Amino acid sequence: MSARIERLLGIRHPILLGAFGGLSSIELTAAVSDAGGLGQYGLYGYSATRIHDTVAALRTVTDAPFGLNLWLPTGDEVTPESVDLGAVTAPLAPFYAEVGMDAPAAPAAFLPPFEEQLEAVLEARPAVLSVVYGVPSAELVAAAREHGIRVIGTATTVAEARALAVGGVDAVIASGAEAAGHRVSFLRDAEDSLVGTLALVPQVVDAVDVPVIAAGGIADRRGVAAALALGAEGVLVGTAFLATRQSAATSAHRRAIAEASDDGTVLTRALSGRLARGIPNRAVRTIEQGGSIAPFPAQNWATGAFRAEAGRHDEGELLSLWAGQAAPLARHADAGELFAELAVGLG
C-alpha cells in the first residue's frame, strides 16, 4: 500500500502541491512535478480559453504528470442579478479609493460555467483532476476515466470522505482545520466541520478503502512522517510552498507567512463570503467590524477588485494572506529545497 499513490498518479514521491485558487503558478507547479511529486494548478474562475492556455504553458516547461483543480458548484452561489451590487460594494469604497479605482462594474457573471471548465480540463487530459466542495457526479468521474484522468476529492470530515469514496474518487484528501485557504466542507457548515489533521486522518483511513492524502499543518519532514504514521499514503503541502520564490504569492504575502506565529491565523468569511484561513490584516479586520459580508461569490468579486490592484503594488494590508497554522515552519525559499526536506520524511 505504501506505493499506491505513486502508481495511481504516476509519480515518484507521494507529495502533492496544494492547488491554490488565484495563487497557482506555472513555475511552482512544474517544480513540484519535476521533483517527482504532483504539482497542481488551481483553476478557480478560469475560463475555458485560460485553462487551455495554462495547460499549454505547463506542458512547455514539464513533461511530468500534474493535476488541475476545480471548485464544484454547490448550488447556493449567488448571481449578479440576485444581489444588490451597490450594497455589496458600498462598504468597500474606502479600499477602492485607496488603490485608486472606482467600484467594479457589474459583471455578466461572477464565475465561468462549470461545464465549460470541465470540458476544457477533459480536453487537456492532466494526470489528475482534484475537486473541492462536493462529490463529483458519476458522469464526471466516468468522463475523467475515459480521458485517462484520475479524480481526487477533498474531505474535511469522515462523513465527507465516505461520500467521496462512494462517489468513485480514486483518492481522498483529508484536509484538517489547520490548513490554509478555504474550508471546503460540503455536508455541514464549515464552522461545524473543523476537525484537526491529527484526529481526521486516521479516522478517514479507517473509513475508506481508497488512498488517503493528509493535508493541514504539514511543512517539513516531521509532518510528513507523522501523516504516514497516521495511515496516510501521501501528503499535500500548501503554505510552505506558497512561501517559496516560485509561487505566485506577492512579496508581502511571503513576508506575512515568514512573520506569522502559531496562533497568527484566523478563519474568516470577510474576503470571499466563504470560510477561509489566513493571516488577518486591515482589510479582514475592517470588513468584519463593519458586519456587512455578501454571500459567495459576490463578496469574492467585490473584494477581488481591490485585492488585484493591491497585489500589483505589494500592499499586504489589502490582500488575501492565506496561510495555515504551520506557517512558522515554512522556512525554505526554494521549492526544490522544500521538496527535498519533505521527502526525507517519507523514510
pLDDT in tens, 193-205: 999 999 999 999 9
Question: 3: pLDDT confidence band, cut at 50, 70 and 90?
Answer: confident
The three three-digit cell numbers of residue 314, written as one number? 505589494
Q: Is residue 286 part of a domain?
A: no
Q: Is residue 276 part of a domain?
A: no
Q: How many Cα atoms within 13 Å fall on the side-chain side of residue 15?
A: 33
Q: Which region among 20-24, 94-98, 139-143, 270-274 has the lowest average model confidence (pLDDT)? A: 20-24
**Per-residue pLDDT for 94 more than 80?**
yes
Average pLDDT of 212-234? 98
Check residue 2 and give its pLDDT. Answer: 57
Q: Which domain holds residue 222?
A: 4-76+111-260+327-344
Q: Is residue 322 part of a domain?
A: no
CATH number for the domain including 45?
A: 3.20.20.70
Q: What is the pLDDT of residues 304-328, one digit of tens each?
A: 999 999 999 999 999 999 999 999 9
In the chain, the amino acid numbered 53 is D
Check residue 240 and give its pLDDT. Answer: 98
Q: CA 236 to CA 38: how far, in whole Å?
A: 9
Q: What is the pLDDT of residues 106-146, one digit of tens each?
A: 999 999 999 999 999 999 999 999 999 999 999 999 999 99
Number of domains within the chain: 1
Other Cβ atoms within 10 Å of 52 Cβ, number: 15
The three three-digit cell numbers of residue 319, written as one number? 490582500
The three three-digit cell numbers of residue 168, written as one number? 468513485
Q: Is residue 153 part of a domain?
A: yes
List the beta strands (DSSP E) in 149-221. 150-155, 171-175, 181-182, 212-215
Q: What is the pLDDT of residues 327-338, one digit of tens each?
A: 999 999 999 999
Using an 8 Å Cβ cutoff, are 183 and 134 in contact?
A: no
Q: Is residue 165 part of a domain?
A: yes
Q: Is residue 31 part of a domain?
A: yes
Q: Which of 47, 217, 23 is nearest to 119 (CA)?
A: 47
Q: Is residue 314 part of a domain?
A: no
Average pLDDT of 59-66? 98
Query: Which helix or strand (DSSP H or E) is residue 131 part of?
Result: strand 128-132
Q: Is residue 274 part of a domain?
A: no
Beta bridge partners of 212: 172
Percent of the chain residues topping a pLDDT of 70: 99
